[in-house]
Structure 1
Amino acid sequence: METPIDRIKLSQTAKDQLLKLRRNTKIDQWNILCRWAFCRSLAEPTSPSPVPIPQDSNVEMTWRVFGGEMSDIFLLALKQRCYNDGFPTDKETLATQFRLHLHRGIGYLAGDPNIKKIEDLVELATKKI
């Protein structure tokens, strides 16, 4: 499946937030934390605000590193979310929406005072709404 974005470069703010999450959860890999963040944003009923996101940190990964074995599933989830939100599913829109969801999710996870260990992420993911 063709990926919407070849390389993902995070903002310095997102990097700082991920560092906080790494300390709390003891998850060392950026890509795993980013997967959690992306899914956290997708779980929100509203689409992320279309704000400019700088690419000013030194944290960078490919789409394949981000998604790993599940990269096609993440891409399908992104396409479905764009469709549900009324956005086209062209490569540029997918890339923009991915970056917005990823950064929003990182902000949500880093700002959640209840996430103090990896078990808190699991509890968040399995919580009944």
Structure 2
Amino acid sequence: MEPPLERIHLSQTAKDQLVKLKRTTKIDQWNILCRWAFCRSLAESAIPSPIAIPADSNVEMTWRVFGGELSDILLIALKQRCYNDGLGTDKETLAIQFRLHLHRGIGYLAGDPNIKKIEDLVELALPK
């Protein structure tokens, strides 16, 4: 499947938040934390606010690095979410929504005072 964007550039704010998450969860790879963040945002019922997100950090990765073996599944989840939200599923809309979900998710995870270790991330994914 063709990804909505080839290279993912993070904002400096997102980078700083990921550094904090790396420190607390002991997960060293940006891409793994970004997958968690993206899925965390997709789980939120509200559509992300359409804000401008600067690509002003030195953190970037390809879509394949971001998604790994799950890249096609994550793309399908993004397309389904855009469809459910009444948005288009063209490449530009998918790219915009991906960036919004990724950055919102990073903010959610970094701002969650209950995330102190990797097990706390797993707790988020388990049904209550």
Tell me, yes or no, whether TM beats 0.5.
yes
- Which residue is 2:73 aligned to? 73
Task: State the alpha-carbon separation in 1 of the partners of residues 2 and 35 from structure 2.
Answer: 19
- Which residue is 2:26 aligned to? 26
Q: 1:105 is paired with a residue of what secondary structure?
A: helix
Task: State the alpha-carbon separation in 2 of the partners of residues 46 and 8 from structure 1.
Answer: 23
- 1:39: Cα distance to partner? 0.2
- Which residue is 2:9 aligned to? 9
Task: State the alpha-carbon separation in 1 of the partners of residues 88 and 124 from structure 2.
Answer: 30
What letter matches 2:69 in structure 1? E
- 1:127: Cα distance to partner? 3.7
Q: How does 1:52-63 map to 2 (within 5 A)?
A: 52-63=52-63
TM superposition score normalised by structure 2: 0.99
Q: How does 1:1-129 map to 2 (within 5 A)?
A: 1-128=1-128
Task: State the alpha-carbon separation in 2 of the partners of residues 78 and 99 from structure 1.
Answer: 11
**Structure 1, unaligned runs of 5 or more:** none
What letter matches 1:11 in structure 2? S
- 1:53: Cα distance to partner? 0.0
> RMSD of the TM alignment (CA)?
0.4
Identity in percent: 84
Task: State the alpha-carbon separation in 2 of the partners of residues 52 and 123 from structure 1.
Answer: 31
Q: 2:61 is paired with a residue of what secondary structure?
A: strand
**Structure 2, unaligned runs of 5 or more:** none
Residue-pair matches, total: 128
